[in-house]
């Protein structure tokens, strides 16, 4: 999703917007309001933040990512104190955007696969990616005796095509079919594993460190974007799969 358009922040402004990225990422409402008051013109370009200098992203979506992650997931008891703090701050952010925009639920969530190259997602516009599963052609698995609808579900899920994945699930596609004899190659397993990995190894540690160090640390903006985007996308997809998995 690369773009070169006018009215986008210049390099200096975009660097300054990284401070706003961090504040929204960590739901730091006081810092966001301070930034808005001190840098009103730059703040007005928050919908045009450039990841890696050329990929347009609306920073408000970071709040929706947080909402997907912290409210839609069951967490271990030992980290619930932190989770409750994050939930409260996320709720404050949602209220803030509602007041600022003047309309409830007015932030439009991005299509995750518009940013497919920033997380574990196949290119939805690549003919090869649209015709394979785990690196092999869909036809290979059908020849092995798997149902076409189950194989296509895996493909649509790894391309994060929510509309088509839901259609297949409604038609009876199963997400718990292993395509290799390894008990580790099912559609739902692929998504669940990535949720566990991103949450345990990246996103939760980021928030834990922030609780102790705040902004007195080095941040990798693109990496943080990848982590939060990836976890939100996978959690959202896992919720969809669970809905129909529980009905099987």
Check: CB of residue 232 under 8 Å from CB of residue 198: no
83/199 Cα distance (integer angstroms): 12
In this predicted structure, what is the pLDDT of residue 108?
74
pLDDT at 238: 96
**What percent of the chain is modeled with pLDDT above 70?**
94
How many angstroms separate the CA atoms of 191 and 180, rounded? 16
- Closest Cα to residue 117, out of 160, 147, 88? 160
Q: What is the pLDDT of residue 103?
A: 63
Write down the mean pLDDT value for the chain.
92
DSSP E strands in the chain: the ranges are 49-51, 55-57, 132-133, 136-137
pLDDT, tens digit (0-9, with 9 covering 90-100), for 119-146: 999 999 998 888 889 888 999 999 999 9
Per-residue pLDDT band for 63 (boundaries 50, 70, 90) equals very high
Distance, in Å, from the CA atom of 153 to the CA atom of 156, rounded to the nearest integer, reads 5
User: 């149902």: which residue's tokens?
Assistant: 147
pLDDT higher than 60, residue 3: no
Higher pLDDT, 181 or 87: 87
Q: How high is the pLDDT of residue 7?
A: 76
Domain boundaries, the chain: 1-110, 115-248
- Cβ pair 204, 211 in contact under 8 A: no
pTM for the model: 0.93
Backbone angles phi, psi at 175, to 5 degrees: -100, -5
C-alpha 57 chain-centroid distance: 12
Q: What is the tens place of the pLDDT at every residue in 180-200?
A: 988 889 999 999 999 999 999
**Listed residue (27, 24, 22) closest to 84, CA to CA:** 27
């Amino acid at each position: 999703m690369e773009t070169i358009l006018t009215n986008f922040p210049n390099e200096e402004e975009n660097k300054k917007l990284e401070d706003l990225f961090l504040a929204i990422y960590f739901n730091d409402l006081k810092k966001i309001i301070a930034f808005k008051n001190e840098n009103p013109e730059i703040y007005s370009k928050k919908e045009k933040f450039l990841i890696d200098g050329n990929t347009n992203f609306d920073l408000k979506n970071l709040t929706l990512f947080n909402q997907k992650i912290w409210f839609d997931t069951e967490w271990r008891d030992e980290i619930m104190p932190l989770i409750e703090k994050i939930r409260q701050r996320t709720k404050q952010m949602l209220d803030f955007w509602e007041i600022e925009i003047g309309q409830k639920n007015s932030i439009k969530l991005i299509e995750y696969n518009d940013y497919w190259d920033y997380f574990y997602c196949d290119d939805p516009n690549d003919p090869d990616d649209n015709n394979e599963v785990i690196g092999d052609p869909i036809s290979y698995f059908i020849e092995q005796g798997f149902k076409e609808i189950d194989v296509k579900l895996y493909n649509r899920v790894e391309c994060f095509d929510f509309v088509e994945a839901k259609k297949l699930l409604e038609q009876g596609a199963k997400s718990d079919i292993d395509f290799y004899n390894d008990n580790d190659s099912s559609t739902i397993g692929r998504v669940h594993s990535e949720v566990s990995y991103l949450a345990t190894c990246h996103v939760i540690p980021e928030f834990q460190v922030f609780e102790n160090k705040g902004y007195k640390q080095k941040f990798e903006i693109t990496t943080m974007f990848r982590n939060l985007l990836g976890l939100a996308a996978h959690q959202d997809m896992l919720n969809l799969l669970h809905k129909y998995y529980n009905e099987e």
